Amino acid sequence: MQSTPNANRLQIGLFGARNLGKSSLLNAIAKENVSTVSNVPGTTTDPVKKAMELPNIGAVLFLDTAGFDDEGILGDLRVEKTTETTKSADISIIFFDDESFEDAIKFLPNLKNTKKIAVINKIDELEDNGKSLAKKIKEKTKLKPVLVSAKTGEGISKLLDEILRVMPEDFETPSITGNLVKENDAVLLVMPQDKAAPKGRLILPQVQTIREILDKGAIPVCSTVENMEATLKKLADPPNLIITDSQAFKKVMKLKPKNTPITSFSILFGNHKGDIEYFTNSAKKMLELKRNAKILIAEACSHRPLEEDIGQVKIPNLLRKKLGDEIEVEFKSGRDFPADLNGYDLIIHCGSCMFNRRYVLSRVEAAKAANIPMTNYGVAIAALLGILDNVIIPQRAC
């Protein structure tokens, strides 16, 4: 609760060919050895993440990637991960030199949805300090490169100024509770502590929601399903809102005061990280799927499934109960998400607390492009239980 989660940080990707000093520049910015550096091309393999605070910018996460010109079987896999990382980057710093100039130009379309900064590193080794290359880059890309030297530190302050200048105006992630909570509201959070709950701590969506309620000047009250009734009796007035774990919808619905609206953590995060309108419309289409539908269930984090697992056990059971046993369910976790979505009839995604909003929206856009309905856990569960119309949906985030 004392540090900003990576998913809520401004994410800055470093992209370029091998041996252009991406890792050296990151180390120079961080003033510590974050990434291993050497003169051997391809030293960086998997993306390296470094969280830090930048003056006047705040909490950021740098993503140092493998060169997009890597070769061989392993090199191809590294390039795939580099390309995948572009989907998370709010700002992309792309490195140029004369030798890999055309490769960088070819890579630029991957950065179409991010703010771009062109960089020429190692200017201390160039005869004209990179000025002729800078002119060439500007003519070809319309980007005015920042000239830096990771070795001497020259130009790094200018690069930080440029990061601040291009910082997306819409970077601030939408509120979790949106228009549903205002100052002095009493909010009851119902949080089952079953086998899936981590021992001795709350899960990230619960922590973040509680913190936001406090920041809004509202009053969070927490309970489990088992002591919800007793908790309500302790309150002088009914709560203004109930937020529950989606798995407890049916039990909480029976216990809640008649006029108190109800939603779930997953539904809130569907708006916080994704496209709640698309998720809601897609959930309604889910109820009309054919009995042999193929459904993809995607989770942001990887974990060993338990007997009470919501993604791999409970939601499939609800789907089969509603649509029949002939449906085909496929699971993907982490960043293992199909590049080709053709063949799927529906995608059901988790709340995505481990992903940043830009990355989740890239998956939504991929689903829309393939004309495939996509919803999330909370919205899907509400629809499958037949209570979607009784659950309050936050106002769509811009």
pTM: 0.82
Q: Hey, where are the domains in the chain?
A: 6-166, 178-266, 275-390
Torsion angle of the four alpha carbons 9, 86, 332, 249, in this order, in degrees rounded to the nearest 10 = 40
Token pair, residue 15, equals 């992209």
Number of other residues whose CB lies within 10 A of the CB of residue 251? 15
How far from 1 is each of 51, 205, 210, 265, 336, CA to CA, in Å?
15, 11, 10, 17, 28
pLDDT at residue number 229:
96
Ramachandran area for residue 225 (φ above 0: left; ψ -120 to 50: alpha; else beta): alpha
Percent of the chain with pLDDT over 70: 91
- Coil, strand or helix at 264: strand
Q: 68-72, 195-199, 262-266: which has the highest mean pLDDT?
A: 262-266
- Whether 143 has a pLDDT exceeding 80, the answer reads yes
**Tell me, what's the pLDDT at 131?**
95
In CATH, 178-266 is 3.40.50.11420: yes
pLDDT in tens, 341-360: 999 999 999 998 889 999 99
Confidence at residue 1, expressed as pLDDT on a 0 to 100 scale: 34
pLDDT of residue 39: 56
Give the C-alpha separation, 346 to 380, whole Å.
11
10: left (phi over 0), alpha (psi -120 to 50) or beta: beta
Q: How far apart, in whole angstroms, are the C-alpha atoms of residue 39 and residue 264?
A: 51
pLDDT band at 10 (very low <50, low <70, confident <90, very high): very high
pLDDT of 2 above 60: no
pLDDT-above-90 percentage for the chain: 73
| DSSP state letter for 394 | P
Q: Work out the burial of residue 265: count CB atoms within 10 Å of its CB; fewer than 13 is exposed, 13-18 middle, 19 or more buried.
A: buried
Are 6-166 and 275-390 in the same CATH fold?
A: yes
User: Going edge to edge, which strands form the sheet with 146-147?
Assistant: 48-54, 58-64, 10-15, 91-95, 115-120, 146-147
Cα distance between residue 320 and residue 45, in whole Å: 42
pLDDT over 80 at 41, yes or no: no
- Residue 150, both tokens: 């990771």
Top-level CATH class of 275-390?
alpha beta
Q: Encoding tokens for residue 172? A: 């601030």
Q: What is the CATH number of domain 6-166?
A: 3.40.50.300
